[in-house]
Chains A and B, each alone.
Chain A
């Protein structure tokens, strides 16, 4: 079973234009409005939003648990090396989609007549496995602290053959999680998976999901092995759990869609999808937001404003693609005006261009740019700008024509902050701007 991921840049899950209605006739109400979402392999996606905003409905549609009424949903089938469409799928095809997915439900729904091991095996039996499924289930349960050792390494009675009635709520939830992950699905859909868990087992679950998503360094994992005092409410791992974790997550690239309010998971998210009243209000790749925020922070125009405000500005230009990945035309088109793409040699701004209401402030997303200025009639290269660098703020601040030309040295993507956004924060940042302008003038004068 080789992990057969979608082609580079292609998502593992594609949701396009999904509308959904509940009820019929007069009671028919729309609960989802034109939702579009792409999730990349290995992403840990958090779905947030108030209850009733449609998060769970989207999850059930993605999981093939409900009939898709309008729009398209495609799930990558790694065994087949192709997408499976949920739209128009008959019951048999929906069953195929469901088998691609590991579900973690808010209610554990274990069979009370089956032992923990048997409950896990119910899932395993759906998929052929070359390895010893018994041993695998045991390791998985042991890692989740249901084996013969507790977090401090003290021997305890293994819970493998316990029936749900003899398990605590948290233990049942962990059995359900082991059941969901037993077949190592490439897509995990979870609804409040850690709600019933204590700090340590919550951390174990989240770390496992992360490790299934991508390989993490020993140092990173080692940092989680700590004393109870150090761990506090964040939980800790035991050193004996690490080998089990690595064996449980030999393959990476698992994508998780998690509906949760648990801040511990929120912090680990790669992508945060926020829903309000049936719409995806924001779809943020955390790394991209950090990238843009960091870029803005460097700029004197935004350095002095509150982090939340910085975040708002950042969110206004994000396109939901990790800054390491090139944006596809359709992704750019989905959020027009946020990122501009230039081919090698294209000029982004020209020296002497007048500044108008359409002029923008730029942040380099990808590629390299070169800054030229005419000095004594000749083009002089002043600087080279890589990802994370900004330009174009001076002209906006001084309301003067551009004082340099910026050209793409390679194919380049730049975030464009429009003038209105820029001007809104001018007053707040006045002192910084003044100091920066003083510096600038001194430099110009020199």
Chain B
């Protein structure tokens, strides 16, 4: 709801556009105020106007929700990266997505640590495939099947993972092997409200990670994706013993999945360039955190149908909105054909009439956008609660939906304008 004021401002501005703007101001110098023809035409029939706005709003909802789901899908894969408190990240170039395998040698971490400007190099361990979590409650009814879970292993003292509601003592307790932090926003249980698919997760609960007992220490809020149903955060020691040793018995932590680097403030770009030179590009990629986020999103965008499916949804919403908006404007023009012809006959230019239609389009856009975006935000909240997907409308995304709405209306306005241009002023006699 924090986005409401900008939306209101946008509406007000659009109204101002509709009310106060008229072309050919040189003719209006001495006029009290120009007639807001576009606004009057729309506001004349309030019921019709409300229906029109609803039509445009529907398109806004269609676009907004599709776009939101698409973003949520993409965001869900990068939530872990975005929680890293670091400037640069070393990652294996062959690892197209975090979901895959491929690590960075610990030697690289040593080398990076030795480079000028690097304040810390912290290995981060990730496991998507091998780890499963199972609730081992005493009451057999509370036990659950093993489900895949995302496991993040970090040095509890490094503070590399930003989990705001996890207190220092919880991090300290994590140093004990066999303890873990759990995600309160793991996939909810379909039948038991308040429980996750892993059963009832709470501090002190005893569960089984990758077949070995583990005790939950504290919870945090993250969210799941469609690869896994939740996330556990463990210490690097626990990660080694529980997750990696069964697979790599000889040297379980020879490679880290990511190496997070902290650098002196403001020097990320320089250090990045310097590290690329020092480390080469053969087995390690030096990226800023944001670059890693977009790399990850790009992978999901190009290698899965998410982008296409929901992008198509957005396009569909756009097209539907354009058709609705065009229908509205074209019928409005058709209804007023003799009047437009009269205006032409008394000396109004095509430019003015086009501008009137365009103004109507922009007013419709504003009038449809406000309720549309509010409804979209409501839908986001509902979907987020239902699916655990991170449905977020960032200012940039808000701006995009707003821009799409105005482009949609303006484009259909321009289509409708052609009708006005064809009006023959001789018809009025």
Contacts and interface: CB of A to CB of B under 8 A. Distances in A.
Interface of A: 56, 59-60, 63, 65-66, 91-92, 95-96, 98-99, 101-103, 105-107, 109-114, 118, 121-130, 133-134, 163, 179-180, 191
Given A110-B339, A111-B40, A122-B343, A65 B29 contact: no
Nearest to A189: B429
Contacts of A91: 350
B35 A126 contact: no
A133 B32 contact: yes
Nearest to A115: B40
B308 interface: no
Given A99-B346, A113-B40, 19 more contacts: A60-B426, A63-B345, A95-B347, A99-B347, A101-B346, A103-B342, A103-B345, A105-B345, A105-B428, A114-B35, A121-B31, A121-B34, A122-B343, A126-B347, A128-B28, A128-B29, A129-B30, A133-B30, A179-B346
Given A110-B339, A111-B37, A111-B40, A125 B428 contact: no
Contact of B35 (A106, A112, A122, A130): A122
Nearest to B33: A121
B44 A66 contact: no
B426 A65 contact: yes
15 contacts: A66-B426, A95-B349, A101-B346, A105-B428, A107-B428, A109-B339, A109-B342, A118-B35, A118-B40, A121-B31, A121-B34, A128-B29, A128-B30, A133-B32, A180-B346
Most chain B CB within a 10 A radius of its CB, from A109, A118, A124: A109
A98 B27 contact: no
B211 to A, nearest CB: 75
Given A63-B345, A125-B27, A134 B429 contact: no
Contacts of A99: 346-347
Interface string B145-186: 000000000000000000000000000000000000000000
Contacts of B44: 112-113, 163
B31 to A, nearest CB: 5
* Residue from B22, B30, B35, B344 whose CB has the most chain A CB atoms within 10 Å: B35
Contacts of A66: 426
A445 B149 CA distance: 144
B425 interface: yes
Nearest to A123: B346
Interface in B369-391: none
B31 A113 contact: no
A109 B338 contact: yes
Contact of A191 (B28, B43, B429): B429
A56 B336 CA distance: 22
Contacts of B31: 121, 124-125, 129, 133
B297 to A, nearest CB: 48
Contacts of B43: 113
Contacts of A121: 31, 34-35
B299 interface: no
Contacts of B425: 65, 98
Contacts of A98: 344-347, 425
B417 interface: no
B348 interface: yes
Interface string B212-226: 000000000000000
Which of A60, A63, A123, A125 neighbours the largest number of chain B CB atoms within 10 Å of its CB?
A: A125
Contacts of A130: 30
Given A107-B338, A109-B338, A125 B347 contact: no
A128 B345 contact: no
B32 A105 contact: no
B40 A114 contact: yes
Interface in B18-57: 22, 26-32, 34-35, 37, 40-41, 43-44
A130 B32 CA distance: 11
Most buried by A among B338, B342, B348: B342
A111 B39 CA distance: 12
Given A98-B345, A109-B338, A113-B41, A125 B35 contact: yes
Contacts of A163: 44
A118 to B, nearest CB: 5
| 7 tightest A-B CB contacts, nearest first | A113-B44, A99-B347, A109-B342, A98-B347, A65-B426, A113-B40, A65-B425
Contact of B32 (A126, A127, A128, A134): A134
A21 to B, nearest CB: 14
B341 interface: yes
Contacts of B429: 56, 59-60, 65, 105-106, 191
A103 B347 CA distance: 10
A114 B338 contact: no
Nearest to A106: B429
Contacts of B37: 111, 113-114, 122
Contact of A105 (B28, B41, B336, B342): B342
Interface string B308-348: 00000000000000000000000000001011011111111
A114 B28 CA distance: 18
B39 to A, nearest CB: 9
Interface in B414-429: 424-426, 428-429
A66 B34 CA distance: 28
Contact of B345 (A65, A112, A113, A114): A65
B132 to A, nearest CB: 67
